[in-house]
């Protein structure tokens, strides 16, 4: 029987986390969204037992728990029950990300969890679950009908083709849902730095407009958008004390900060559909004269993706307030980009930026 419940309705949620304080915060956030917490589990074994007893609509599952970890528990639950699982973790480890689909995990939440991220992730994960179960129900109904009346084989074959077409469309929707989850992760990383504001959104708009001016289009522009959204994802591996420091960084702190492109590239390279975005993450701090990091590439050795993000990122940094200096005017920032063309930045990218900067400033709200 097809599941008629909608993702926006009240859900019965099970929380599995061995840290009482985290479980309590999740409990409060879930109920603040209008959902109901039906139980809490302190380890994976208890979580599996409670799913069998209570049959919740969704499980929020910590990955590191005693007796049975979150991945094992999620795999057991997905095998035995039609219950979606969202992983809640304090770290982004490529190994569980790679095994997530096998374990039945629909999405990830990064601790500390905020209300907006929780609301978005619950909606995306449960909508994805409903789409998958609806598709399975459609296909089962077609198979049953074929068994009942072989005389209608040709007609049902046409119906199955339509089902296949719907499956492809749903796959596209699921892909978009996963990208939305990635956006939530990127915003969560950005939120750790109190001085960046809407940095990701602004830099992404700048980068896409410059890419259009350079003649990129279609799927490549979509790639530029997502790659730029993820360009600073490696900061998840940088300590808060460094990200939030209001003064200049010490040499060892600066070295730790410079590791974030490689951290981000390693994370993305472990997930097949995220691999195309690695150049945006790994090369956006390279310099045209070879004095950047992490690989000291020069000129067109630097992939175009990195050269585009470098200009957009630098412009936004210069036109944003910092604790140690006020924002530059747009005119001053453009002069700085032009002064750095051929040394710090690709001259072609800087020229393209200059052609579109007026409309970009109006759209992104940069300081005039």
Give me the pLDDT at residue 28, please. Answer: 93
Give residue 248's pLDDT. 78
In whole angstroms, give the CA distance from residue 109 to residue 265.
Answer: 20
* Domains, the chain, ordered by start: 12-185 (3.40.50.2300), 193-364 (1.10.3210.10)
Residues forming beta bridges with residue 131, ordered by sequence position: none
Q: What is the pLDDT of residue 117?
A: 83
Q: In angstroms, rounded to a whole number, what is the distance separating the alpha carbons of residues 48 and 250?
A: 48
The CB density around residue 241, as the number of other CB atoms within 10 Å, is: 9
CA distance 182 to 108: 9
Please count the other Cβ atoms lying within 10 Å of the Cβ belonging to residue 109.
25
* pLDDT number for residue 233: 85
Q: How far apart are CA 49 and CA 82, in angstroms?
A: 14
Whole-angstrom distance, CA of residue 73 vs CA of residue 71: 5
Please report the pLDDT score of residue 2 as a whole number: 41
- Walk along the chain (368 residues) and give the pLDDT tens digit of each residue: 344 444 447 889 999 999 999 999 999 999 999 999 999 999 999 999 999 999 998 999 998 888 898 889 988 998 888 888 888 887 655 555 556 666 678 788 888 888 888 888 888 878 777 776 666 566 566 656 555 655 555 665 666 677 667 766 766 666 666 666 666 666 666 656 655 557 888 899 999 999 999 999 988 998 999 899 889 888 888 887 887 777 778 889 899 889 999 998 998 888 777 889 999 999 999 999 999 999 999 999 999 999 999 999 999 989 887 766 788 999 999 999 999 999 999 999 999 999 988 776 665 444 43
Cβ partners under 8 Å of residue 273, min gap 6: 175, 178
């Amino acid at each position: 029987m097809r599941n008629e419940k909608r993702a926006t309705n009240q859900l019965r949620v099970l929380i599995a986390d061995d840290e009482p304080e985290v479980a309590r915060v999740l409990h409060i956030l879930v109920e603040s969204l209008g959902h109901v917490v039906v139980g809490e589990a302190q380890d994976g074994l208890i979580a599996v037992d409670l799913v069998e007893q209570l049959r919740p609509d969704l499980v929020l599952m910590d990955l590191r728990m005693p007796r049975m970890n979150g991945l094992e528990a999620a795999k057991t639950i997905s095998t035995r029950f039609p219950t979606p699982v969202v992983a809640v973790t304090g770290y982004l480890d490529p190994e569980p990300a790679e095994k997530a689909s096998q374990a039945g995990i629909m999405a990830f939440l990064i601790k500390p969890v905020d209300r907006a991220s929780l609301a978005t992730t619950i909606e995306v994960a449960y909508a994805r679950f409903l789409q998958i179960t609806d598709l399975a129900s459609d296909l089962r109904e077609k198979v049953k009908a074929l068994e009942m009346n072989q005389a209608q084989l040709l007609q049902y074959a046409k119906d199955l083709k339509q089902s296949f077409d719907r499956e492809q469309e749903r796959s596209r929707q699921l892909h978009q849902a996963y990208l939305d989850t990635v956006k939530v992760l990127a915003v969560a990383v950005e939120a750790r730095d109190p001085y960046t504001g809407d940095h990701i959104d602004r830099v992404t708009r700048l980068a896409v407009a410059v890419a259009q001016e350079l003649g990129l289009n279609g799927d490549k522009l979509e790639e530029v958008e997502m790659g730029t959204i993820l360009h600073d994802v490696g900061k998840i591996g940088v300590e808060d004390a460094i990200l939030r420091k209001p003064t200049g960084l010490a040499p060892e702190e600066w070295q730790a900060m410079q590791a974030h492109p490689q951290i981000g590239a390693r994370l993305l390279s472990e997930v097949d559909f995220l691999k195309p975005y690695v150049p945006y993450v790994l090369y956006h701090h390279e310099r045209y004269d070879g004095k950047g990091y992490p690989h000291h590439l020069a000129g067109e050795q630097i992939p175009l993706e990195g050269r585009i993000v470098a200009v957009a990122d630098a412009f936004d940094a210069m036109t944003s307030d910092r604790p140690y200096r006020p924002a530059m005017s747009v005119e001053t920032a453009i002069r700085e980009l032009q002064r750095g063309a051929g040394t710090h930045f690709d001259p072609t990218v800087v020229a393209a930026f200059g052609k579109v900067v007026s409309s970009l400033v109006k759209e992104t709200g940069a300081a005039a």
